Chain A
């Protein structure tokens, strides 16, 4: 039994604290939660992933921001740029998003200062969570940093928990791509363990 995909992780927020997780049954159940999904859905390719992210970046960059709040769309636009540019070493916006998600397990549409959100009800934009998953997969592959892989596993738990709310087929194929990358990175650790 893999316990971290609930009916809706945005509501039943997972803390991931002090979990008994040493058994191979636990690991097998995790793998099933992923393979069951990507076996049922079309898989996006890297070109489609980048194209989707560039389209989001353009759309979010041209959004109108009526006041001085820190809008999450604006942060995502900058984070996309950070993650897709090969020369970028600064991940300031990406790290803000990681912190926001790790602390609150949600993205609110705007923040006043630090992580103080403007409207407690506005955290349901599924597109934000899909974009975040893709960015984490890309940055995990590029950096080989387990910090990002850990958050990738959490966001994909969340997306799997709300998959029935996906409004577009493209979200399904993008999530399939992200899950495939996630599982490959986790299996890579297995190989290192066996060595």
Chain B
């Protein structure tokens, strides 16, 4: 296993975190430590599994704790769920890692104070940037271009506007793959892996500015458009 000493992970107990840990471990990468932001009484969620079909090595039926134990990934439970709290800010400030993969709770916008902590937060957004900023972009991208995509970037106070580290487009999966629970976490994990591979090979992340042209910010897609995007997929 290749240990990523300067890279930690801030994590909610989610399928995205599961995909990140599984795909990185399958490619022999282990982060320095995973910091689970979860209330003590909810630690049981680390054992949770989802009984749905996986995709290309990502298995939602394998719990976070199972992956942690199998690959001996160091972890710590932080008894807090609000990433913007004073306690979280102090804690993140004290972490030894300079880079933190962000796999926190969905829909949370980090306050500017976190970006003043000196840490670099790595986030993987499910869409090309700057064309697909905002929410549920995987569905907008299917409707507009019949592709899915993800971009790894350093987070910045402005939404989805940070320096890009890696990006990739993917074919839209067939109807037997769940997009929300399986495919979207999977493509994010694959692009995270791509950024980590570059970091490991070159000793630094390769940062690229986002283009100033073609920016579009999307909001939560209406369920009818989501229905159309889902229906557009092949039955194979």
Do B228 and A19 touch across chains, with their CB atoms under 8 A apart? no
Given contacts A18-B180, A193-B231, contact A149 B216 (CB under 8 A): no
* Cα–Cα distance between A187 and B212 once the two chains are bound (Å): 33
Do A102 and B144 touch across chains, with their CB atoms under 8 A apart? no
Do B216 and A151 touch across chains, with their CB atoms under 8 A apart? no
- Interface of A toward B, CB cutoff 8 Å: 4, 15-19, 21-23, 26-27, 30, 98-99, 102, 145-147, 149-151, 153-154, 186, 189-190, 192-193
* Cα–Cα distance between A190 and B225 once the two chains are bound (Å): 10
Closest 9 interchain pairs by CB?
A: A21-B223, A102-B219, A153-B222, A19-B223, A150-B222, A189-B228, A21-B227, A193-B232, A22-B230
Interface assignment of B226: CB less than 8 Å from any CB of chain A: yes
Contacts of B230 in A (CB 8 A): 21-22
B interface: dominant SS: helix
Interface assignment of B140: CB less than 8 Å from any CB of chain A: yes
* Cα–Cα distance between A153 and B219 once the two chains are bound (Å): 12
Given contacts A22-B230, A146-B144, A189-B143, contact A153 B220 (CB under 8 A): no
Contacts of B171 in A (CB 8 A): none
B172 to chain A, nearest CB (A): 12
B73 to chain A, nearest CB (A): 28
Do B216 and A21 touch across chains, with their CB atoms under 8 A apart? no
* Cα–Cα distance between A147 and B134 once the two chains are bound (Å): 11
Do B143 and A22 touch across chains, with their CB atoms under 8 A apart? no
- Interface of B toward A, CB cutoff 8 Å: 140, 143-144, 180, 216-228, 230-232
12 contacts between A and B (CB under 8 A): A16-B220, A16-B221, A16-B223, A30-B227, A102-B219, A145-B216, A146-B140, A151-B219, A154-B222, A189-B228, A192-B232, A193-B232
Do A186 and B219 touch across chains, with their CB atoms under 8 A apart? no
Do B223 and A26 touch across chains, with their CB atoms under 8 A apart? yes
Do B140 and A186 touch across chains, with their CB atoms under 8 A apart? no
Pick the contact of B219: A150, A190, A192 (CB < 8 A). A150
* Cα–Cα distance between A23 and B224 once the two chains are bound (Å): 10
Do B227 and A22 touch across chains, with their CB atoms under 8 A apart? yes
Do A15 and B225 touch across chains, with their CB atoms under 8 A apart? no
Contacts of A26 in B (CB 8 A): 223, 227
* Cα–Cα distance between A150 and B219 once the two chains are bound (Å): 8
Contacts of B219 in A (CB 8 A): 98-99, 102, 147, 150-151
* Cα–Cα distance between A20 and B196 once the two chains are bound (Å): 34
Do A153 and B232 touch across chains, with their CB atoms under 8 A apart? no
A20: nearest residue on chain B (CB-CB)?
A: B223
* Cα–Cα distance between A30 and B225 once the two chains are bound (Å): 11
* Cα–Cα distance between A17 and B230 once the two chains are bound (Å): 16
Centre residue among A22, A98, A99, A145 by max chain B CB count within 10 A: A22
* Cα–Cα distance between A192 and B218 once the two chains are bound (Å): 22
Contacts of A192 in B (CB 8 A): 232
Contacts of B217 in A (CB 8 A): 99, 147
* Cα–Cα distance between A146 and B180 once the two chains are bound (Å): 19
A30: nearest residue on chain B (CB-CB)?
A: B224
